[in-house]
Amino acid sequence: MALSREQLAQRVAQELQDGYYVNLGIGIPTLVANYIPEGIEVMLQSENGLLGMGQFPTEEEIDADLINAGKQTVTMATGASVFDSAESFAMIRGGHVDLTVLGAFEVDCNGNIASYMIPGKLIKGMGGAMDLVAGADNIIVTMTHASKHGVSKLLSNCALPLTGKGCIKKVLTDLAFIEIKGGKFHLLERAPGVSIDEIIKLTEGELVIPEHVPEMSF
């Protein structure tokens, strides 16, 4: 079975370590905040200028001056700080964020990522994604492995305009957890009940399959 959005978030959450500063992109990455393992403290960075993002506010707590990068109303966690956008991206570009999780349309086996534009169709802009992929060393891309028509999104070369070049090393799809190194995809784990053949069929870029590929556990 392909992973649900919640399972994707759960699997990413297993990568969190105590004391991590983490930037979560919009969509599935945001859900990761719901699965922070017990006993682990992480501080969420929101690139509009907040370190220590808390949960959504109650009706009474809503404050128009306090939003996240998805423009949603939020609260501040204990020990939070606020700052301007230049400071925020100094943290990001300067490599101070321990883990970045973001979505993508395509990735390829050279670590390129396309996530912000579909020419002629979707031109909304890159927001902070280009800075995040250029600045972070530890990035997990979450995405579906293929389109609903079965077209692979793990390619030998991205076709869409790039968000970043050679910067992605880990991809978690609904079918597999994959590492990118040496110009190839390497299969690390598969979703429970998903066959290696199915993953091979839906991966267009070169995929290295080790002898043993464990199933993800939750």
Partner 1 sequence: MAGFDKVVSSYEEAMAGLEDGMTVISGGFGLCGIAENLISEIKRKGTKELTFVSNNCGVDDFGLGVLLPDRQIKKIVASYVGENAEFERQMMSGELEVELTPQGTLAEKMRAGGAGIPAFFTATGYGTPVAEGKEEREINGRMYILEPAITGDFAIVKAWKADRYGNLVFRKTARNFNPMAATAGKITVVEVEEIVEPGELDPDQIHTPGIYVNRVILGTFEKRIEQRTIRTVSS
Site for partner 1 in 139-198 (CB under 8 A): 161-166
Rule CB under 8 A: is residue 46 a binding residue for partner 1?
yes
- Told to judge if 179 belongs to the known catalytic residues of this protein, a careful annotator would answer no
Among the listed ranges 10-18, 130-138, 148-156, 210-218, the one in contact with partner 1 (CB under 8 A) is 130-138
Residue whose CB is less far from partner 1, 16 or 51: 51
Q: Which helix (H) or strand (E) holds 141?
A: strand 139-143
By CB under 8 A, is residue 62 in contact with partner 1?
Answer: yes
Q: Which of 2, 33, 77, 126 binds partner 1 (CB under 8 A)?
A: 126
User: Position 121: which residue type?
Assistant: K
Catalytic residue among 6, 15, 41, 47: 47
Nearer to partner 1, 30 or 177 (CB): 30
Structure tokens, 153: 């999104």
Question: What DSSP designation does 35 have?
Answer: G
Dihedral of the CA atoms 2, 159, 48, 15 (nearest 10)?
40
CA neighbor of 179 nearest in space, from 129, 106, 98, 111? 111
Indicate which single residue of 59, 159, 197, 211 sits in contact with partner 1 (rule: CB under 8 A).
Answer: 59
User: What gap in Å lies between CA 143 and CA 9, rounded to an integer?
Assistant: 11
Residues in contact with 44: Cβ distance below 8 Å, sequence separation at least 6, in sequence order:
22, 23, 24, 33, 51, 52, 53, 77
Residues with catalytic roles: 47
Which residues are at the interface with partner 1 (CB under 8 A)?
Answer: 46-50, 55-59, 62-68, 70-74, 76, 82-86, 88-89, 92-93, 112, 117, 123-131, 134-135, 161-166
